[in-house]
């Protein structure tokens, strides 16, 4: 039996994938070689580029790769945004004492998601449309599970009034404490939205709805 995902979890997942705004720090002068500083720790430009290129490589390798490449927006900025949110979620989970996820738990969750999408290959194809390369899937699923644990620790769920606002407020508090400073080439970090802002191009262009064969 597959584990049901709550509405809160789905909202949180969208947040991680860039569909829902999260927090803010203000961008400052660029630090040579750094895409961002998080509590003084550097996120190197090379790390952002490598993670983005892994998605590009995976897109090129599939039959509809050219279409995926055309639909994907400014991937390095999207990638950095996710990396910053990832750090916020990890820090929040650690602060609340719910960061002890095991690899087995992540793999179990992945199997559930694969089964729900028609198998591993179909699930990887779906995630690639969300600009997640196959070797990045476990990281994304770990973040979703951590968000679930954070929500449970805070005592919020799908039936809780303003559940997303309660959860987001916790992330904002963490992000403010982390003192996030972004290289202006990637945009500005908005703490109240937990998101990079300032670009004019969408991060992910919507994929066309597949047509049923006649």
- The DSSP code sequence of 117-134 is TTSHHHHHHHHHHTT--G
Going by C-alpha positions, the residue among 174, 11, 192 that lies closest to residue 99 is 174
Domain assignment present for 15: no
Going by C-alpha positions, the residue among 73, 72, 84, 43 that lies closest to residue 178 is 84
Helix (H, G, I), strand (E, B) or coil at 172: helix
Domain assignment present for 82: yes
Percent of the chain at pLDDT above 90? 57
The structural domain count of the chain equals: 1
Lowest mean pLDDT among 2-6, 45-49, 71-75, 202-206: 202-206
Domain assignment present for 148: yes
Domain assignment present for 4: no
Can you give the CATH number for the domain in which 58 is found?
A: 1.10.4030
Distance CA(122)–CA(47), nearest Å, equals 28
Domain assignment present for 40: yes
What are the tens digits of pLDDT across the range 73-113? 788 999 999 999 999 999 999 999 999 999 999 999 999 99
Is there a contact between 71 and 205 (Cβ–Cβ < 8 Å)? yes
Q: How confident is the model at residue 159 (pLDDT cuts 50, 70, 90)?
A: confident
CA 186 and chain centroid, separation = 16
Domain assignment present for 202: no
The residue segments making up the domain with residue 44 are 22-197
What was the pLDDT predicted at 11? 47
């Amino acid at each position: 039996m597959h584990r049901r995902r709550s509405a809160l979890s789905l909202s949180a997942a969208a947040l991680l994938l860039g569909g829902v705004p999260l927090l803010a720090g203000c961008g400052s002068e660029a630090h040579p070689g750094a895409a961002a500083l998080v509590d003084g720790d550097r996120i190197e430009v090379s790390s952002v580029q490598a993670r983005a290129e892994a998605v590009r490589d995976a897109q090129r390798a599939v039959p509809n790769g050219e279409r995926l490449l055309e639909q994907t927006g400014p991937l390095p900025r999207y990638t950095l945004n996710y990396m910053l949110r990832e750090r916020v979620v990890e820090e929040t989970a650690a602060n609340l004492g719910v960061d002890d996820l095991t690899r087995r738990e992540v793999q179990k969750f992945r199997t559930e998601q694969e089964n729900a999408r028609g198998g591993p290959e179909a699930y990887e194809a779906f995630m690639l449309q969300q600009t997640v390369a196959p070797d990045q899937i476990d990281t994304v699923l770990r973040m979703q599970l951590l968000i679930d644990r954070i929500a449970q620790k805070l005592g919020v769920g799908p039936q809780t009034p303003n559940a997303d606002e309660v959860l987001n407020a916790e992330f904002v508090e963490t992000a403010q404490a982390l003192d996030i400073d972004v290289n202006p080439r990637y945009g500005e970090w908005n703490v109240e939205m937990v998101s990079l802002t300032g670009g004019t191009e969408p991060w992910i262009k919507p994929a066309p709805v597949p047509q049923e064969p006649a």
